[in-house]
Amino acid sequence: MPTEPLSQKEIEDRLRELPGWSLAGDRITRTYRLSGHFAATALVVHVARIQEELNHHSDLTLGYNTVALSVNTHDAGGAVTDRDFELASRVEAVAPVHGAS
């Protein structure tokens, strides 16, 4: 059973709990800045593990010292759902370990 899409107000309320994350179209997004390429790559590997655990995969973009995530739920027609916020919260919990800001 697909997850229900969140309303605009629900999304805005949840984003207040995740500084640095924002709504861009039908996705929540965040770009992390890190000390260099190795730290950025390590964060991507950690995010990939979280995605596998949740069976929920975001779009990831790796730059020299940046990692950008773009998340929505395909099973909900590309809308933002609780699953997206669960993923974002789990990434937020590990990002500081890698020196992300």
| Closest C-alpha among 86, 82, 70 to residue 21 | 70
> How far is CA 93 from its chain centroid?
11
Give dist(CA 23, CA 63) in Å, integer.
Answer: 21
CATH number at residue 13: 3.30.1360.20
Per-residue pLDDT of the chain (101 residues; tens, 9 = 90+): 458 999 999 999 999 999 999 999 999 999 999 999 999 999 999 999 999 999 999 999 999 999 999 999 998 999 999 999 999 999 999 998 888 89
Residue 94 one-letter amino acid = V
- Output the CA angle 86-27-31, nearest 5 degrees: 80
Please give the pLDDT value at position 53: 97
3 located within any domain: no
- Residue 96 neighbours by CB distance under 10 Å: 10
Residue 55 exposed, middle or buried by CB count within 10 Å (0-12, 13-18, 19+): exposed
92 located within any domain: yes
45 located within any domain: yes
1 located within any domain: no
Q: Which domain holds residue 13?
A: 8-98
Please give the pLDDT value at position 1: 42
